[in-house]
């Protein structure tokens, strides 16, 4: 009666979880495709973390389309059609920008003319300080007789010496290597015309609905342009495109890995037990584990991450282990089978197996990576629920003995057991272990490590190529680094930002940077403006400017007007600049009155950026990718020490039941882990955090095999069969995971495949121990 009540309550729990998960899944796949969601808060400085968020929004939201053709007119016609197609799909894009906003040509003049007496190009300031009269005469002659300058042009009355015009010519008012041609964002590159079209997603680029709409209309637009403009090439990139590709990749792999694993398990059950009932009963712990784990994650997380989906597919192979052990015990008991008694005999090994497996996932829960914690929670809950389903449902559903025709499945396990009992001895096991260590030495020496954050992703080649080409054509930055500049007050902040800009100038001149987006490029520090004003005021007060203008034939009223403009000039403040249309692009760079961002562009290496700011006070280089990579390294090292500590902990956990034999029970999985590391070295597989996390799970899963074999007091072939079947299903799931295109999942799966295989091969070493006094045998 109690068993039936427990089974019903367990079924109710699973049904409630299924209902909750179904409600959360309704309306689209709630899959988290933002890779940043995997990552921890790497910058402990509040302003630094705020800066990371600002830069992520600046560079990561919009989609960019590149239309390339041999002739500008053809590219322009194709770009117009592209914008029309994109703009019609409001589910994909809210706004599409194909034409550069109309800008008043005199806007830079109107913004800067009231401040002309405080703004000098650096070379003009140096020349005026060194030889004022000669400089004034040279600049005036250039102003009167040189061809018109390119860019904003001042009138002779507004700027007789051309100082303001020369200052404006130095301002980085362009957009990288782009220019505006007939209203389009245009670049000429490698003999072809390239036009950029920008599109803002209709929602978050990480929403599945937005991703689907963006992918659909982008492919449709490219196909239409190919039909109407055969010689035009269209490429696109952006957060929504990358996220859509990653989601499709993860869902495809989940279906492939999960489906293949499930098919393999069903085939194995059918071949071994020849019972249709065991097919659907064997699926119950898998279904219960996946359903409740999904619902449990939804209770704590808004979305399921890609990594969790990949892990969920492999959980099938682990969750079915407990069913395999139960089926094997039932097979071994033959006509004497009593389900409740069989469950009682299996329960100690089942409990210890679950505990040791969960020990591996517990480490992941302690990691600072949200994605790993979610994966660990999903897996841990799934395993507990799967084991609980075996305990609650199997004794009621499998009360009848298996047919005698299934006894043939015990032939191979019985043969293996005889071979082990005949040939295994403590001496031979120690000799084999020593030989294995000798053979493993070259592999250990070849081990290398790689903590690059890019191990988390497998970018689609077409999108990666489009992004690289776009950066090359537009001259945009190729790195994710930026500077955070802080000061005690606005004046000190401006000085420090100007110092950084000066320190980066050599990198610009040498081509190591293509541009630097900084507020200091547009608003000089107030102290510098005062010095420039003092220089100009001095040449007017001592008569140098007046004499030069009189010699050139300027009227007295024109000279007086130019003098008054200098005297009445006011400093250009950051607040005023940011309030103008010209300052719109720099507004988001200002975090507060004491902090701003500086964005270098076109960098190919981090070291020169770090070296440029090494001696500057209040300047920090923020490299989120580097910070996370360093964090990967730190936690890889911590995980390695934790893995070493897991062995004495496991011995202590098992010593209460096994005494001194606990050391021998743990030894096979330890040997398997050492050999796995050697094979990874032989394969040239760099060791990462994910490989070590995989080894932690090998420790838990592999220890199960030793425990189940040692718990078998009768040396029953059925227990060996259970271990074999459990190992086969686990190898199937993790072997498929090793073929994942996501580098992190590949390393995780490969490590588990090798480790579980070796642990299963090493587990029979426990058979040399005296038989357990209580266990699985009858």
pLDDT for position 774: 44
Asked whether residue 597 is domain-assigned, the answer is no
Asked whether residue 341 is domain-assigned, the answer is yes
Q: Cα dihedral angle (693, 695, 697, 703), rounded to 10 degrees?
A: -160
Task: Say if residue 311 is in the same domain as residue 405.
Answer: yes
Q: What is the DSSP string of 596-647?
A: EEEEEES-S-SHHHHHHTTT-TTEEEEEHHHHHHHHHHHHHHHHHHHHHHHH
pLDDT for position 43: 44
Task: Say if residue 632 is in the same domain as residue 762.
Answer: yes
* Residue 553 backbone zone (phi > 0: left; psi -120 to 50: alpha; other: beta): left
pLDDT for position 675: 93
Task: Say if residue 412 is in the same domain as residue 552.
Answer: no
Task: Say if residue 378 is in the same domain as residue 307.
Answer: yes
Strands 31-32 and 304-305, bridge-based pairing:
parallel
Asked whether residue 153 is domain-assigned, the answer is yes
For residue 682, give Cα distances in angstroms to 280, 448, 633, 703: 41, 10, 22, 25
Q: Which residue has the tokens 């005036």?
A: 140
Which residue, 299, 293, 298, 295, is CA-closest to 361?
293
Asked whether residue 613 is domain-assigned, the answer is no
Task: Say if residue 281 is in the same domain as residue 139.
Answer: no
Per the structure, the count of domains in the chain is 2
Task: Say if residue 644 is in the same domain as residue 708.
Answer: yes
Asked whether residue 255 is domain-assigned, the answer is no
Strand partners, 31: 304
Task: Say if residue 565 is in the same domain as residue 649.
Answer: no
pLDDT for position 336: 84
Q: What domain range includes position 564?
A: 105-177+526-571
End position of a domain, from candidates 507, 538, 571: 571
End position of a domain, from candidates 571, 602, 636: 571
Mean pLDDT by 10 residues, the chain (778 residues): 83 89 71 58 51 54 83 88 86 79 71 89 89 86 70 80 86 63 77 84 76 85 88 81 72 72 78 81 88 88 71 64 83 84 86 77 70 80 90 90 67 78 78 84 87 66 70 62 84 86 85 78 86 91 88 87 88 86 74 81 79 86 74 78 81 83 88 93 88 84 85 77 83 79 82 92 81 49
Task: Say if residue 643 is in the same domain as residue 726.
Answer: yes
Which residue, 281, 261, 218, 251, is CA-closest to 65?
218
Report whether 371 contacts 34 (CB < 8 A): no
CA angle 253, 255, 259 (to 5 degrees): 120
Asked whether residue 611 is domain-assigned, the answer is no
At 238, give phi and psi (nearest 5°). Answer: 150, 165
HSE of 144, CA atoms in CB hemisphere, 13 A: 13
Task: Say if residue 296 is in the same domain as residue 432.
Answer: yes
Chain-centroid distance of CA 615 in Å reads 32
Task: Say if residue 318 is in the same domain as residue 427.
Answer: yes
Q: Could you count the other beta carbons within 10 Å of the beta carbon of residue 674?
A: 17
Task: Say if residue 566 is in the same domain as residue 631.
Answer: no
End position of a domain, from candidates 555, 571, 587: 571
Asked whether residue 452 is domain-assigned, the answer is no
CA distance 495 to 503: 12
pLDDT for position 36: 54
Report whether 585 contacts 59 (CB < 8 A): no
Which residue, 266, 317, 280, 273, is CA-closest to 397?
280
pLDDT for position 455: 62
**Token output for 771:** 């038989």
Task: Say if residue 285 is in the same domain as residue 374.
Answer: yes
Asked whether residue 339 is domain-assigned, the answer is yes
**Token output for 410:** 């015990």
For residue 702, give Cα distances in angstroms to 350, 357, 656, 664, 667: 13, 9, 20, 13, 10
Report whether 332 contacts 326 (CB < 8 A): no
């Amino acid at each position: 009666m109690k068993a039936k009540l427990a089974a019903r309550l367990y079924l109710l729990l699973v049904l409630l979880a299924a209902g909750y998960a179904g409600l959360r899944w309704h309306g689209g796949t709630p899959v988290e495709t933002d890779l940043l969601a995997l990552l921890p808060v790497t910058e402990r400085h509040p302003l630094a973390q705020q800066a990371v968020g600002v830069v992520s929004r600046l560079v990561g939201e919009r989609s960019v389309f590149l239309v390339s053709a041999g002739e500008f007119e053809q590219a322009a016609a194709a770009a117009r059609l592209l914008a029309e197609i994109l703009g019609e799909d409001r589910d994909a894009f809210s706004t599409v920008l194909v034409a550069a906003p109309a800008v008043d040509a005199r806007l830079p003049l109107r913004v800067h003319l009231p401040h002309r007496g405080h703004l000098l190009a650096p070379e003009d300031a140096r020349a005026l300080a060194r030889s004022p009269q000669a400089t004034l005469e040279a600049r005036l002659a250039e102003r009167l007789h040189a061809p018109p300058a390119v860019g904003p042009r001042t009138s002779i009355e507004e700027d007789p010496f051309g100082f303001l015009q020369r200052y404006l010519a130095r301002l980085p008012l362009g957009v990288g290597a782009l220019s505006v041609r007939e209203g389009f964002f245009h670049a000429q590159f490698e003999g072809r015309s390239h036009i950029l079209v920008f599109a803002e997603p209709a929602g978050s680029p990480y929403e599945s609905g937005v991703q689907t709409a963006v992918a659909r209309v982008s492919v449709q637009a490219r196909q239409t342009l190919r039909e109407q403009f055969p010689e035009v090439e269209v490429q696109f990139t952006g957060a929504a495109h990358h996220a859509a590709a990653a989601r499709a990749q993860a869902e495809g792999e989940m279906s492939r890995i999960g489906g293949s694993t499930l098919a393999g398990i069903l085939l194995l059950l059918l071949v071994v037990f020849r019972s249709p009932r065991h097919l659907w009963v064997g699926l119950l712990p898998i279904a219960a584990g996946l359903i409740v784990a999904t619902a449990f994650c939804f209770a704590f997380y808004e979305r399921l991450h890609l990594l969790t989906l990949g892990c969920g597919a492999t959980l099938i192979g682990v969750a079915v282990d407990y069913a395999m052990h139960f089926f094997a015990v039932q097979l071994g008991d033959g006509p004497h089978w009593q389900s409740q008694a069989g469950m009682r005999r299996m329960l100690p090994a089942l409990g210890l197996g679950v505990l040791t497996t969960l020990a591996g996932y517990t480490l992941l829960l302690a990691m600072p990576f949200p994605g790993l914690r979610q994966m660990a929670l999903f897996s841990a809950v799934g395993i507990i629920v799967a084991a609980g389903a075996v305990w609650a449902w199997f004794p009621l559903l499998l009360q009848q003995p298996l047919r005698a025709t299934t006894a043939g499945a015990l032939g191979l396990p019985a043969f293996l057991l005889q071979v082990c009992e005949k040939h295994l001895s403590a001496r031979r096991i120690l000799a084999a272990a020593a030989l294995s260590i000798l053979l493993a030495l070259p592999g250990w020496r070849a081990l290398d490590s790689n903590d690059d954050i890019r191990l988390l992703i497998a970018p689609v080649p077409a999108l990666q190529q489009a992004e690289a080409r776009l950066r090359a054509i537009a001259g945009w930055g190729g790195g994710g680094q930026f500077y955070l500049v802080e000061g005690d007050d606005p004046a000190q902040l401006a000085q420090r930002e100007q110092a950084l800009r000066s320190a980066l100038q050599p990198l610009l001149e040498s081509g190591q940077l293509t541009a630097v987006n900084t507020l200091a490029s547009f608003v000089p520090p107030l102290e510098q403006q005062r010095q420039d004003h003092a220089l100009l005021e001095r040449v007017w007060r001592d008569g140098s400017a007046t004499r030069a203008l009189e010699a050139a034939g300027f009227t007295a009223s024109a000279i007086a007007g130019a003098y008054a403009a200098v005297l009445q000039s006011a400093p250009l403040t950051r607040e005023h600049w940011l309030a103008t249309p010209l300052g719109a692009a720099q507004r988001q760079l200002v975090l507060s009155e004491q902090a701003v961002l500086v964005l270098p562009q076109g960098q190919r290496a981090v070291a020169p950026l770090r070296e440029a700011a090494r001696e500057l006070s209040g300047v920090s280089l923020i490299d989120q990718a580097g910070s996370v990579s360093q964090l990967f390294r730190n936690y890889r090292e911590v995980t390695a020490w934790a893995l070493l500590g897991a062995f004495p902990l496991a011995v202590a956990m098992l010593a209460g039941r096994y005494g001194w034999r606990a050391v021998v029970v743990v030894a096979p999985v330890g040997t398997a882990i050492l050999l796995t590391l050697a094979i990874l070295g032989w394969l040239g597989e760099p060791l990462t955090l994910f490989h070590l996390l995989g080894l932690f799970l090998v420790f838990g899963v592999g220890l199960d095999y030793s425990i189940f074999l040692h718990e078998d007091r009768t040396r029953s072939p059925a227990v060996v069969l259970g271990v074999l079947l459990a190992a086969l299903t686990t190898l199937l799931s993790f072997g498929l995971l090793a073929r994942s295109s996501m580098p992190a999942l590949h390393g995780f799966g490969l490590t588990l495949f090798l480790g579980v295989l070796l642990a299963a091969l090493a587990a029979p070493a426990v058979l040399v121990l005296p038989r357990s006094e209580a266990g699985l045998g009858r």
